[in-house]
Amino acid sequence: MTAPVTDAVSALRVDVARLHQELIRWNLVVWTAGNVSARIPGTELFVIKPSGVAYDDLLPESMVVCDLEGRVVEGAAAPSSDTAAHAYVYRAMPTVGGVVHTHSTYATAWAARAEPIPCVLTAMADEFGGEIPVGPFALIGDDSIGKGIVTTLLAHRSPAVLMRNHGVFTIGSTATAAVKAAVMCEDVARTVHIARQLGAPAPIETRDIDRLYDRYQNAYGQSAAE
Ligand SMILES: [Zn+2]
């Protein structure tokens, strides 16, 4: 690796280790489930969590660097068991800079029913631009999870997909943006679930969803990631 790449790897090791603590903070994961990765800009590499390490023990130096085929390039531990899915997303979606996977409770309850979360909140229109879609049932071991994530996300504006009977995958231009999408996904999954217990949530007109999405993505704050 060249010196600038080594510097980028060091910075992203710190970033990705820190973002795993955000998954704990926002109550999105239990035990060792869940993972965050970040593409190393200008390379065919990404940084990801090691497999089966307790969240308290996740340090920058324990992160693993992989190539876009999911092979380990740097790191002592085996990478996350979801590495192949992350690698597939980076290969297929060149603008994606970060990927997150969780089994967060409310969102995964929608995934268990294979039901998309309807866009019935303005915050959903802002972040997801419509429903949060369901991806296919897929088993770990080959490219089927990655393929299911990419096919579903390419057909929607949502940066989050509920993989059927499994859990949530989110993408972003950075790993921070992907973590934000995972946090927001769980939040709206919970709110819409509660709304459902009380009756039928009122729909938002497509035209208004478009307006909200455009405003939030293009004009709100400093950038969509904030
Ligand atoms: Zn999983």
Active site residue 187: no
> What is the 17 CA–ligand 1 centroid distance (Å)?
18
In whole angstroms, what is the distance from residue 173 CA to residue 162 CA?
Answer: 19
CB-based contact 104:28 (threshold 8 Å): yes
Active site residue 210: no
Encoded tokens for 154: 């390419």
**pLDDT at residue 226, rounded to an integer:** 46
How many alpha carbons lie under 13 Å from residue 142 in its C-beta half-sphere? Answer: 3
pLDDT tens string 10-51? 999 999 999 999 999 999 999 999 999 999 999 999 999 999
> What is the 4 CA–ligand 1 centroid distance (Å)?
33
pLDDT tens string 131-184? 999 999 999 888 999 999 999 999 999 999 999 999 999 999 999 999 999 999
Phi, psi dihedrals of residue 51, rounded to the nearest 5° = -80, 135
> What is the 169 CA–ligand 1 centroid distance (Å)?
9
Of 127, 111, 94, 206, give the one whose Cα is nearest residue 161.
111
**Catalytic residue of the set 103, 143, 156, 210:** 103
pTM for the predicted model, two decimal places: 0.95
**Catalytic residue of the set 142, 208, 214, 220:** 220
Active site residue 156: no
Instruction: Indicate the angle between helix axes 83-92 and 144-154, nearest 10 degrees.
Output: 40
> What is the 161 CA–ligand 1 centroid distance (Å)?
12
> What is the 101 CA–ligand 1 centroid distance (Å)?
7
